[in-house]
Amino acid sequence: MNFTKKRWLFFIGIALVAAVLSFLLFRQHQPSKLEKKSGSARNVTEFEGLTIKVPGSEPNSFWELKLAKLTSLNDVGQMTEISGKYLVQQKPVYIVSAGQGEIHWKNRQLTFENKVELKNDEGKRIVADLLTWDSRQETIKAQGNVVLETEDMTVKTDGLITSAGFKKVVFSGMTKVISKRGPADE
């Protein structure tokens, strides 16, 4: 082999090595399906299509929330297209759905808004514009076009605050109670 052919093979070899290295480096920086973006100035992190677990107030309890998107900015996480359940001892006690919401990471307070629906395992249901679940105080606060449905009545009100177990309910604003009567009541 003459000197010119060796030089060309050497340059082709270096070009191939450079191409492979650039391909590998470029491939490492591609976002995965679980998209994560960081903005250094605001310390923002975004995730799409994930399930998160938020510790509850009782032992062995947590919220398991499926989200279309989670944007976390320091102490607050903003969620969109929420559906999930609150589990105690691996048993679902509440089911929630909402268009969007927030998680306050330090105090584990969840706020849901935009077509919020919360059901418990006893058949009680709250529909509201805004619902706040406070794990530390074990309270649920609903505001705006609130409807509380139970087996024997429906309550429409401007707002309510209740214990997590619906033991005590305090209504606020205009309140209308509709009793459901069965055949024995007539």
Judge whether 184 lies within some domain.
no
14 and 97 both lie in a single domain: no
Judge whether 1 lies within some domain.
yes
Question: Euclidean distance between the first and final Cα of the chain, in Å?
Answer: 108
26 and 70 both lie in a single domain: no
Range scoring the smallest mean pLDDT among 12-16, 26-30, 177-181: 26-30
132 and 152 both lie in a single domain: yes
Instruction: Count the neighbouring beta carbons within 10 Å of the beta carbon of residue 134.
Output: 18
65 and 153 both lie in a single domain: yes
Give how many domains the chain has, as a whole number.
Answer: 2
146-169 pLDDT, tens digit each: 999 988 899 999 999 998 878 889
173 and 94 both lie in a single domain: yes
**pLDDT given for residue 116 in this prediction:** 96
Q: How does 44-83 read in b/e, with b if 16+ C-beta sit within 10 Å? A: eeebbeeebebebbeeebbbebebebbbbeeeebbbeebe
Domain that holds residue 168: 37-179
Judge whether 23 lies within some domain.
yes
17 and 109 both lie in a single domain: no
Give the mean pLDDT of 50-73: 87
23 and 73 both lie in a single domain: no
pTM: 0.71
Give the integer Cα–Cα distance in Å for 129 and 185.
Answer: 33
26 and 44 both lie in a single domain: no
